[in-house]
Amino acid sequence: MTPSESDRTFAGSIPQLYEQYMVPLIFAPYAEDLRRRVLARQPRDVLEIACGTGVVTRQLAAALPAATAITATDLNQPMLDHAVALGVSRPVTWRQADAQQLPFPDAAFDLVVCQFGAMFFPDKRQAYAQARRVLRPGGVFIFSVWDRIGENDFANVINQALIKAFPADPPPFMARTPYGYFDAARIAQELLAAGFAKTPVFETVAARSRAPSARTAATAFCQGTPWHGEIEARRKPTVAEATGMAEAALAERFGGGEVEGRIQALVVTIEN
């Protein structure tokens, strides 16, 4: 399924809630994973696509030598503004950019990295072609995508709760976009169509997601992502009511107090 325009809109209260709740809940473990992968490559010039509020950027800034130039981009200026406001431990070039039309010259970077952004590209072949274009010969593109929603407990439980909450018109964002791009064969084909000649390497990376309460996890997903807009557009139940239903479903599945569930992603590495 193709992402809708609303799927790519992270504005309003979303950047703050995303950073406060979603980053520690599901993104931080994979940011550390990408940091290790990038560091092992010893790049000179790194481009990050879809940096969001900067969870990977901060990891790279702390780990890479000062001589390594880091450029971090995102389509959504509010997300980029929040990343800039949070700050990094060393200079980083921040720039608003669409992954499908990167504003950089050919062969400008020796590594391109993207955490959980590829699912949102309307034309993935075009975005991959742009990543290949800005890579130097022998450079590498490393990116992560979520595995199917059934392998990601909190998202799956909340998705099922919202299907029950909106039986006539369930909000489809999570299953359609963040957890809708997990087919390795499709990804490999689109990389090939984009001009990459080498075979991509796929690695399944499992981790654990923890939250201090079911309420925290429910708020993260229902209010810190574009799911918020989809729920709000349906008007009834309200966003607050839907969040409460998601909280109840999580508590029923994982119990009271701190909740813990599995998360799983695919990390893709391809050389230019």
Contact 14, 228 (CB under 8 A): yes
d(CA 224, CA 150): 20
Tell me how many domains the chain contains.
1
Contact 249, 157 (CB under 8 A): yes
DSSP per position, 113-165 = EEES-GGG-SSHHHHHHHHHHHEEEEEEEEEEEE--GGG-HHHHHHHHHHHHH
Contact 161, 245 (CB under 8 A): yes
Q: What pLDDT score was predicted for residue 148?
A: 97
At 123, which CATH number?
Answer: 3.40.50.150
Nearest by Cα to 60 from 42, 74, 78, 75: 42
Domain range enclosing 12: 5-271
Q: What is the pLDDT of residues 44-57, one digit of tens each?
A: 999 999 999 999 99
| Residue with tokens 């990390």, as numbered in its chain | 267
Q: What pLDDT score was predicted for residue 108?
A: 98
Using the predicted structure, report yes or no on whether residue 6 has a pLDDT greater than 80.
no
User: Rounded mean pLDDT of 141-150?
Assistant: 98
Q: What is the pLDDT of residues 242-263, one digit of tens each?
A: 999 999 999 999 998 999 999 9
Q: Which token pair is 99? A: 């992954």
Q: What is the pLDDT of residues 200-220, one digit of tens each?
A: 999 999 999 999 999 999 999
d(CA 176, CA 50): 18
In this prediction, residue 1 has a pLDDT band, given cuts at 50, 70 and 90, of very low
